[in-house]
Structure 1
Amino acid sequence: MDSEDDLHYSTDDDCDFYSGDMDMGMAYYSDEDDPEAEDFVDDDTDDYFESRRREQNFTILNEFDIRQRQEDDITRISSVLSISRVASIVLLRHFNWSVTKVHDEWFADETRVRKLVGLLEEPVVHASNAREVRNHTCGICFESHPVSRIKSAACGHPFCASCWEGYISTSINDGPGCLMLRCPVPSCGAVVGQDMVNSLASNEDREKYARYLLRSYVEDNKKTKWCPAPGCEHAVLFDAGNGNYDVSCFCSYGFCWNCTEEAHRPVDCATVEKWILKNSAESENMNWILANSKPCPKCKRPIEKNQGCMHMTCTPPCKFEFCWLCLGAWSDHGERTGGFYACNRYEVAKQDGAYDEAEKRREMARNSLERYTHYYERWASNQTSRQKALADLNQMQNVHIEKLSDIHCTPESQLKFITEAWLQIIECRRVLKWTYAYGYYLPEQEHAKRQFFEYLQGEAESGLERLHQCAEKELLQFLNAEGPSKEFNDFRTKLAGLTSVTRNYFENLVRALENGLSDVNSHGVSSGTSSKSTAGSSSKAGRSGRAKGGIIRTSGSTRSDDNATHWSCEHCTYVNARSATICEMCHQRH
């Protein structure tokens, strides 16, 4: 008999992991006699996604939104500090567009802040008041120009318009540094504001300057970032309130706010960095070389054995012939040493321990490579499946939804459950993909966690495959139908239910992995972890599901002690009360 001390995850606290929020899942299951069943499904789905939107800790901004927020901040600073719009921009730029920081610094020491950013209260050089002075000498070209052609910043240093135009144009073409342009005099720190730039720069340069200013609002602000998707011009305003760094842009690209890589829950950013580096670096190439090659005894270049016999010949100019097993000269080999396919010398030396260390290193490299390949292939496979699901979703939205609406005489608004199922498939593929990176870096010595993780991962794969199968294969019969059918309503209920169950399971899976599978007791766990996990999940799911008259399982198997009171639907794996003759989930007859 297994004790509850053996596994922490077989306690009552974890029953929701397997069944999810039962109220959420059961909201999709309706009585066949309920005339409002269809509306109930769609309304509940809308409520769910609306609640998810309210829980978002980020806001997607287009160019208009960015410009509007920027103008609001400028106006707020200008109003509170009673300064010009240009001065407000200078202050906000210096303090990374933080209104609060500007207020704090300004009211703490206005004089220091003015000097710091170059907002002079009085000019350094006073212009001559003599009316007879009609010309001034430019401080750059040292030529005499009419007073009307002489311009200066707040400091009063005079330069001709032509020199100013060249100075401003060069700075703008050099990049965003032009936003903090100062007086050309090296010892002067007076700022050159946007008003002066606009009055002297060309139309093209003015547009560049305005673009730099707009982009600085995103790039210099700690709370905003551009979406990293190629060609996307949206920005994200982020509020790190709930610890979730995943962001989804309007362009459908999901990324991590913290590291700007693609969204990668449940693994952390450090793991993603290591995994990406491992996938692209030469480390696995070296592992392959170590596992599948040996150095030539003469020139030491690595050689791969690609033919059956042990007679190896190094490439020119070395051309050394040697035995693959013992690395001795082939001239010392022949029938007496084992022929072409064996080496008695090697076997004797191996028994004496002469080759143990080299072979051990080679075997370790081979095992390491095989382990990495196992996880990488499955990681890449889920990535491919996700890309295919994205393409299928696009086709569904652009072609199939309209076709289904016409065939089954159903408004497109009532077919959202299909696109929501595909969106859930795409999200689950992403999560499942990163669980393989999680598994690769899970310590080998933590056997209980590893076994429990593999069990949960397997259940997640099974549940996702059921949802994917339903959304992809079972939908085809309704796309090819000649007219409306009653079975379509049953399909709606089944697909919506599977979407809910899968969503709940994956959300709980993500939370469990992010918590490091903390519920697992790594001491005193026997090799039967998987079976005990199944039993634990079944019994706990049963306890959490009794109020609803059924149990949601994440696998199609049932325990013998449940058979007397429940039966598992072979279509959707929902576990029903023994007295039921029709599955409460998919309405298939037992």
Structure 2
Amino acid sequence: MEDYYYGSIDDENSDQYSDRVDDDDEEDSVDGLQDQELCSKDPSCTVIRQESLLAAQKEVLQKAMDLLSLKEHHARTLLIYHCWDVETVSKVFVERGKERLYSEAGLSVRSSKDLNSSLSSDEVTCQICFKHVNAYESSMMDCGHCFCNICWTKHFIMKIQEGQSRRITCMANKCEAICDQENVRNLVSTADPHLATMFYKILLESYVEDNKKVKWCPSVPHCGNAIRVERDEYCEVECACGVQFCFSCSSEAHSPCPCLMWKLWKEKRQDESGMVNSTNTKYCPKCHKPVEKNGGCNRVRCLCGQQFCWLCGGKTSTSIADHHPCGQYKDDRLEKDGLAKRQPWGYSHSCIQFKAHTDSLELEARLQSRLNSKIEILEEKNHELRDFSWVTVGFNRLFRSRRILSYSYPFGYYMFYDDQFKYAMEQNVREPKQNLFENHQEQLQAKIENLSEQLFDDWEERDVLDTRRQIITLSTVINNLCKNLYDCIEELLPPEHIIVPYRSMGVKKASEFH
């Protein structure tokens, strides 16, 4: 297939382009799309189930043990300090040396010979309670400090209850050495088995909760899975349970909207839930917060104290006697009033578009079974086409692109209407850049609606070859338009904000950990 520029293609040109696709090129197109669908499992993204968590942790522990010839509990202490990153451990080891690496992590590595020589008698005086106990009733940590088991146990229980399970330090004055986790668990288990089990679980789950490259799946109810990425920590992933989420912020997958903008959007939607689309709500002309009308009078008062006319939205005085000449609101007022006055209407527009497309997503997902029925009917008729996988490919493209379009509206609101980001670009370039961005949205929306119509129309009674050609062409066009929209957003974003790169195949699907 020849390369075409889809940046300004309209419906009429799309039909002309469709006519130019011959049978050989069409086969290449659908085969290419099918290849993308088949390569959906990403080996750089791994799902770790609850029963595999210990094996995943031991895999990393073994790397550190091999690197530095350490015991397992020493390797765990070192890795917890360095957030389970073996590369960081190796880097510190090379740059600062073993002694510095150990001391910073609170790791004291002494030989068994040294520890045994410290216990020179059968009786020990505990320097905490000052009781004389038999040697077997005391314990010595790697740092060489020895106290009675009763004092150690009380110390460990207190630290666990205080939330310091990951790094419990020695009781000795000014000793920052980390205690052996197995000693901690064994001593605590005699006094409180439940607490010992909790301690073990905390150490096990530290591999997820302290690790920058591993996150719990945010599914509700929780599926129990964790996701590990090997390279890019700023990506979107799909768990084995089907939940797709942003690995950076653990929220639902929201590209091409940056994490901060999505967080602000969710909070704003939650704060103003049920008010934006209400016919009984308008925005205050002073503070721009939504105001609900609960009476018959068209002179309303906001909580900030400002009174305004319900009919036109204009400010009014506090005096009832003052006459207010009311007229219909005109769009050109937005330009005169500036960004502050445009914000509420920009938010209302963005909300309406966002909700419309998310609603369409839900409806189209429910209609997927209809497509499967169409395929079954056509296959029973022994149609000249033997492969109808292009229907599924087209549906997947529709689903992905509508998600992208819907999440572009929160970005558009914060980029062009919200005060927090108004200084991200010069005022004189804001309008042309906004026009360019909205033009990308409009083109993508037009093609998405066209593809939806083609997929869910009664095409089994029409020319299936023509429908196939249209769906393949639209899928290719939409893929390019999505890429163009991402490129546009990346150019508009302030330097401190990034978005997940565009992936034609959609969100990464995690492979199983073995």
**TM-score, structure 2 normalization:** 0.68
**TM-score, structure 1 normalization:** 0.60
Q: CA deviation at 1:429?
A: 1.9
Q: CA deviation at 1:464?
A: 0.7
Q: Residue 516 of structure 1 corresponds to which residue in structure 2?
A: 492
CA–CA distance in 1 between the matches of 2:30 and 2:76? Answer: 48
Counterpart selection for 1:153 from 118, 138, 141: 141
- Report whether the alignment pairs 1:80 with 2:67: yes
Q: Is the 8 A contact 1:267 1:514 kept in 2?
A: no
Instruction: Trace 1:296-315 onto structure 2 (pairs within 5 A).
Output: 306-307=295-296
Q: Residue 186 of structure 2 corresponds to which residue in structure 1?
A: 199
Q: Residue 110 of structure 2 corresponds to which residue in structure 1?
A: 121
Cα distance change of structure 1 residues 406 and 169 upon mapping to structure 2, 3 Å threshold: farther
Q: Residue 227 of structure 2 corresponds to which residue in structure 1?
A: 235
Q: Residue 456 of structure 1 corresponds to which residue in structure 2?
A: 440
Q: Is the 8 A contact 2:53 2:204 kept in 1?
A: yes
Q: CA deviation at 1:304?
A: 5.4
What SS does the aligned partner of 1:17 have? coil
Counterpart selection for 1:465 from 431, 445, 449: 449
Q: CA deviation at 1:463?
A: 0.8
CA–CA distance in 2 between the matches of 1:169 and 1:419? Answer: 57
Counterpart selection for 2:210 from 217, 220, 232: 220
CA–CA distance in 2 between the matches of 1:490 and 1:238? Answer: 44
What SS does the aligned partner of 2:5 have? helix
> 2:110 is aligned with what amino acid?
E
Q: CA deviation at 1:237?
A: 0.9
CA–CA distance in 1 between the matches of 2:320 and 2:356? Answer: 45
Aligned residues: 437
- Report whether the alignment pairs 1:48 with 2:40: no
CA–CA distance in 1 between the matches of 2:92 and 2:301? Answer: 76
What SS does the aligned partner of 1:119 have? coil
Instruction: Trace 1:393-542 onto structure 2 (pairs within 5 A).
Output: 393=368, 407=380, 416-440=389-413, 441-442=415-416, 446-474=430-458, 491-516=467-492
CA–CA distance in 2 between the matches of 1:465 and 1:191? Answer: 61
Q: Residue 256 of structure 1 corresponds to which residue in structure 2?
A: 246
Q: CA deviation at 1:256?
A: 3.2
RMSD: 4.8
What SS does the aligned partner of 1:208 have? helix
CA–CA distance in 2 between the matches of 1:145 and 1:408? Answer: 89
- Report whether the alignment pairs 1:106 with 2:93: yes
> 1:511 is aligned with what amino acid?
D
Q: CA deviation at 1:42?
A: 6.3
* Structure number with larger C-alpha Rg: 1
Q: Is the 8 A contact 2:170 2:179 kept in 1?
A: yes
Gaps (5+ residues) in structure 2? 303-314, 327-334, 418-426, 494-514
Q: CA deviation at 1:414?
A: 5.2
CA–CA distance in 2 between the matches of 1:198 and 1:470? Answer: 63
What SS does the aligned partner of 1:515 have? helix
Q: Residue 372 of structure 1 corresponds to which residue in structure 2?
A: 347
> 2:147 is aligned with what amino acid?
F
Q: Is the 8 A contact 2:45 2:229 kept in 1?
A: yes
Cα distance change of structure 1 residues 366 and 50 upon mapping to structure 2, 3 Å threshold: same
CA–CA distance in 2 between the matches of 1:416 and 1:211? Answer: 46
Instruction: Trace 1:267-346 onto structure 2 (pairs within 5 A).
Output: 267-281=257-271, 288=282, 290-291=284-285, 306-307=295-296, 327-328=318-319
Identity of aligned residues (%): 22
Q: Is the 8 A contact 2:34 2:389 kept in 1?
A: no
Q: Is the 8 A contact 1:266 1:513 kept in 2?
A: yes
